[in-house]
Structures are given as C-alpha cells and as structure tokens.
A and B are shown apart, each in its own frame.
Chain A
Amino acid sequence: MFQSFRLCMAWLHTWFGLMLGFVLMVVFFFGALSVFDREIDRWALPESRFQPQPMPSFDRVLRPAFERMQPSKDDIALLDGRVHGPLPERFDTVRHWGAYTTHRDPVVAVFAGYEVPKAKDPEETVWASHALDPRDGRVLPEGRLRISSQFFYPLHYSLTLNWKDLGTWIVGFSALMMLAALVSGVVMHRKIFREFFTFRRDKSVQRSALDLHNLTGVVALPFHFFFAFTGLVIFAGLYFPVAHTQLRSLHELSEKIEARETGLPHERAGVAAPLASVDAMVAEAQRRWAARGMAGEVGYLGVQHVGDANAYVSVYRAGTDRVALTGEGIHFKASTGELLREDPPRTAVDSVNEFLTGLHLQHFRHWLLRWLYVLGGLLGCVCIATGFIFFVEKRKQQHAKVGSPGSRVVDALAVATVTGMLIATTAMLVANRLLSEALPDKGDWEKTVFWSAWALALLHAFARNGAVALGRRSPAWREQCLLAAAGAVAAVVANAVTTGDHLGRTLADGYWPVAGVDLSLLAMAAIALLAARRLGRVGQRTAARGTPAAIAGASNG
C-alpha cells in the first residue's frame, strides 16, 4: 500500500487511533474507576457503608429473598418482541437462583432466571437482580443506583448502549483497534529502547506530547495489550456466537453428554421436589475445600432447576488469593443434600482462560495490585489524550493557513472526551449527594445529570475553541480543568455535609472505601488545578509574544 510497512502502520495508527481513541478514552477511564467500583458504590449509597460480609446463610437470609423476587418492569421490557402475545406479568418457574459476593462487598448480589411462558425461543430466560443487605436479608430499594457497579462499569464495557448490544460491539471493535494501535505503534517507534525513559518537557508542545504519548504507551505496554486482549476474550462468545448458531447442534450434543458424565441434569424432570438445607451443603463444601488444603469463603452459590426433582446446588469458592475468579465447584442434589460431583482440577486450557478473565475482572484480594491497575488505566488515558494533542499540534498551523476545520473539530472533541468526561463524573457524584434520598428513580436523575453535564462540556469546547482555527491553543482546556477541580471538591464537601462521613472521621475510623474516594477526588482536583495553572502561564507567554509591543521589540532586536 505505502512505500513501506512502517508507513502503512503509521497511517493505521493515526487514523484508527484517532477515530476509536474517543471510545477508548471512556473505556480506559471508567475501567480504571471500576477497579474500585464497590468502594465508589459505598460512597454513593451511604446506607451500605458497613464492612464487607461473607456469604450469608441461604436457609435464613437468601431463600426468603429469592422466593419473594420477581423481574422488574425494566427486566420484563427486554422481552419485547420475543414472546407470542402480551408480555407476561408473573414468572413462576425458576431456572436458576444465584448469589454472588466478594471480599469487598458489604451487599450480596442475588439474581434469578425464570422460564418465559409463550416465548418464541424455548430457552428464553428473563432475569431479575437485587442487592441484599446480608445481615438481615433486606433488599436495597429499586431506583437507587450503585453508581459504579451499575453505571460506570457498564459504561466501560458497553457505553450503556444496549440496543442489540451495539455498545458492546463498538467497545469490542475499539479494543481490537487498541491492539492494532499497540502493534503499529511499536512498528512506528524507531527508537523504542533508546527513548524508553525520554520525556522532554522543555521542547515544543508537539514534542513533549509525543514523548509522553510514547512513554505512557511503552512502559505499560503489557498492561494495555493484556487488558484489550482479555476484554475481547471475555466477550468472545458474544462477538462470535458460533456455538449458538452454526454449531448449535454440536453444542446441544455436548451438553447432553456432559450432563450424563457429570451427573448434573440438563433438563427439569417435571416433578416437584423440596429444597433441603443448603447451609449444610455449604458447610460440607467448605469442609472438602479445607481437606484439600484450599480452605476458603463461598464466592458463588447457585441453584439450578429450582423446585424440581432434578434441581442441584452448586457451591463455588471465592478466588481471593489467586487470579482465577471462582472455582473448586462442588455440586449437591437439591432435594437431599447428597454429593453429586466435585469439580476436577482444571484442564490447561481452562486454567489459561480463567487466568485471563480473572486478570481482567479482578476479584482477588491485593490492594497494591489494584492501585497499580488504576495507574495502568490512567496511563492509558494519558496515552490517548496526548495522542489527540499531538495530532492537533502537528496539524493546526497548516489547517489555520488553508482554513480547514479539522484541527478545531478534533481539539473540541478531545477537550470534551478528556476534561469533559471528568466534569460529567464529578457532576454525577455531586448530584448523588444533593438529590433527596427519597426521590423515586433517583438513579435515572443522576444519569441525566451525567449526560447533560457532558453535553454541556462538549458545547463549551466547541464554543470556546475558535483559537485553534487560528493555530493557537483553545482556552477550553484550562477552563474545563478548573470546572473539573471545582466539581471534585464540591463532591467531597457534599459528602461531608450530607452524610457526616468527612475525611476526619473516615480516616480516624479507617473506613477506607469512603476515605479513598474522597482522597482520590481531592488528588484529581489538585492535578487539574496544577494543569490549569501551567496552561494559564503558557497561554500568557504566548499572548505576550503576540502583542504589538513584543513583535516590535522582536523585529527591532
């Protein structure tokens, strides 16, 4: 295509990097926040600010909650077009009950999948999910958004665009482009070893931006590569649903064989049966793990074919001490508590897969590694942001001369994606504190604030960057840095005022979830203020150079 492989990789890196960089910025930033999603949830939901709890008793706490559960109207709405006739209102045949918790969860996530009467696809399942207080089984009220795990996290992998999984597809393509950008970046970067530690701050903005772009890209190259790759592996079944389409019969054959081999029935028997004590089964599972030298907490509890003679209970160990998620599953016959199967040690392929997914989804207990992950995510953001800045700096003089709007457009989009995103995030946290706790659908209001703040930031960016069309820097960068800093401080103050859990108290009590979020917000504000100051100073120098007196002085001297 081009004269050389290097040049065509450079083209690929520049243009696909630019186009998908906007998406990747969102993915990296909200991915970094999602490392501490449970902690941010505690900040946003003050009534959940208690210590993490182990999996509660199934018989006393979980079972009554499960039996009361039904899908919400939002859950049922997903069935639109997938049933014959009107949407059913009640769902009585339960395929699956599941309860999930980690060492960081005060609340336990419970969900239930129901058969759908009159569905077009006989395998169709409707899901209901709740968060429970494990101490008393109380369900957290609907409409209260767990801001990080129910918004920032889905934003990270699907842009919350759920129509036909479109958002997940876009993120997936961006991840593939991330991999391509890393490969092409390495090919392009002729001095990758020589310039490994190079960051020249005293040169032009273009040179400094490129140095920082290369630095943040290369030092965390394994991180960037593995996160994009493992993200794609996690969703591979969605992007390539081979087993549910072309090879569906093969899949069904394998499930029948597996059911025979494992003794875990694939279908319901159609005969009702009671549920024995699940707590006794859990105790037995924990005894067996300890006997194998792998004592541990319960990470996942599942009941399949609920209420049927073929029902079985699965108990999985929480993978807190290793990278793989959960494992060492032990399965019991639900009606009697008799042991059906102890999962054998993993195959090589399964171990690799669990390692890769566990690496990305992080349910392990390791605070240093978590913070290093946040660092990696933020380095990715800096890499993308400096990429935008380099792109604009390289072209804006030229564009100014020929009157092309290209640099201006990219610059405005970059401002909106980098600083605008921070403004939207802090605005949402402020709204979370200021809106009344009693407000129904409070979560929807918070989301509206988020999207509106971002839209306003975008408008501001376009309105203020006329300077770029003249080959100068847009003041929007500095202004939005100041706004983001203000938002972050406002959020910390709002938390202190509305909940009384100000830093003095949370640090003294050692309640790190809330203290950590407050401290991070303050750190963000400090960095944004520093950036605003530097941008202001550079702006003054450039302006001074441009005044008539200075030009006269320069032409005389």
Chain B
Amino acid sequence: MNATPHSLRPLSLLSRIAAAVLGGYAFCWGFIALGLAGFYAAGMPFHDAEHLSGMLGVLLFLVAFCWVFATQRVGRAWAVLLGGAALMAGGATLVQRAMV
C-alpha cells in the first residue's frame, strides 16, 4: 500500500540508532569532560566535580537519545552530537592544559 516511511528504511534507521547510541555517548563524554574540568577549575573539589558531571551527563544522554528519535533529519542529529562533542572535549583539554 504505502511505502515504508523514509525514516524506517533500514539504512536510515540504523543511522538513527547509531547517532543515538554512539553520537549520544560522544556528546555526553564531551559534556562530562568539560563539566569535570570546568567545575574543578572553578574551585569545586575534584571528586565532586566528577560526580556532578556524571549525574548530569547521564540525564543528558537520556535527553539526547530521545531527541535523536524525535528530530526530523538524522544528519542534523549527527552534526549536533559530534560537533558538540568535539567542542566540549576540546574545551576540557584546554582547561586541563591551563591548570597542569
């Protein structure tokens, strides 16, 4: 009758799942790294910074995961997640360089 909606075709679906899982993971890694370095640089004890970033990072993964499935274009999801990951992780390394 009607063809499978574009987004349910195997390749597009796999891309979306990969974006949610792998892209989401990378994005949260970046967030946790930046959070850890940032909070520590701002004076928070190291393990507190680690735990706070971890807690927020888990919630962020949930949000990002759901967002990937709700958003129209998978390409945009990939761009936001990977781009954001690179920016945040890069920022974290810069903070580390400044402090060590």
Contact = CB atoms under 8 A, between A and B. Distances in A.
Interface string B27-67: 01100110011001000111111111111011101100110
Interface stretch (A40-48, A347-355, A436-444): A347-355
A237 B45 contact: no
A247 B16 contact: no
Interface in A471-530: none
Given A1-B69, A236-B58, A249-B96, A349 B40 contact: no
A176 B28 CA distance: 13
A163 interface: no
B66 A233 contact: no
Nearest to A255: B46
Given A246-B92, A347-B48, A349-B48, A233 B54 contact: yes
Q: Secondary structure of the A side of the interface?
A: helix
B99 interface: yes
A250 B48 contact: no
A254 B54 CA distance: 18
A193 interface: no
B89 A246 contact: yes
Contact of B45 (A9, A176, A347): A347
Contacts of A2: 5, 7
Contacts of B46: 243, 250-251, 254-255, 258
Contacts of A255: 46
Interface in B1-43: 5, 7, 16, 21, 28-29, 32-33, 36-37, 40
Nearest to B7: A1
Given A240-B28, A240-B29, A350-B47, A250 B37 contact: yes
Given A1-B16, A247-B36, A12 B7 contact: no
A170 interface: no
Contacts of B62: 176, 179-180, 183
Interface in A341-385: 347, 349-350, 352-353, 356
B71 A1 contact: yes
B55 A236 contact: yes
Nearest to A11: B69
Contact of A352 (B55, B61, B92): B55
A173 B62 CA distance: 11
A1 B72 contact: yes
A548 to B, nearest CB: 37
Nearest to A252: B100
A1 B19 CA distance: 14
A232 B58 contact: yes
A58 interface: no
Contact of A242 (B33, B45, B59, B100): B33
Nearest to A178: B62
B84 to A, nearest CB: 15
Nearest to B50: A243
A250 B100 contact: yes
A196 interface: no
Contacts, number: 108
Contacts of B21: 173
A184 B62 CA distance: 11
A34 B1 CA distance: 51
A254 B40 contact: yes
A237 B50 contact: yes
A253 B46 CA distance: 10
A149 to B, nearest CB: 25
A129 B40 CA distance: 34
A253 B40 CA distance: 11
A8 interface: yes
Contacts of B5: 1-2
Interface string B78-93: 0000000000010011
Contact of B66 (A180, A246, A253, A254): A180
Given A9-B66, A11-B69, A240 B99 contact: no
A8 B74 CA distance: 14
A349 B93 CA distance: 23
A184 B66 contact: yes
Contact of A1 (B44, B51, B53, B70): B70
B39 to A, nearest CB: 9
B22 to A, nearest CB: 12
A50 interface: no
A93 B81 CA distance: 46
A94 to B, nearest CB: 24
Given A236-B58, A350-B47, A350-B51, A242 B36 contact: yes
Contact of A247 (B28, B70, B96): B96
A229 interface: yes
A197 interface: no
Nearest to A247: B96
A246 B32 CA distance: 11
Contact of A240 (B48, B54, B70, B96): B54
A250 B40 CA distance: 9
4 nearest CB pairs, A to B: A236-B54, A254-B46, A349-B48, A353-B51
5 contacts: A1-B16, A9-B69, A229-B58, A242-B33, A350-B48
Interface of B: 5, 7, 16, 21, 28-29, 32-33, 36-37, 40, 44-55, 57-59, 61-62, 65-66, 69-72, 89, 92-93, 95-96, 99-100
Given A240-B54, A242-B29, A242-B53, 18 more contacts: A2-B7, A12-B66, A176-B65, A179-B62, A180-B62, A236-B32, A240-B32, A242-B92, A249-B100, A250-B40, A253-B99, A347-B48, A349-B49, A349-B52, A350-B45, A350-B48, A350-B51, A353-B55
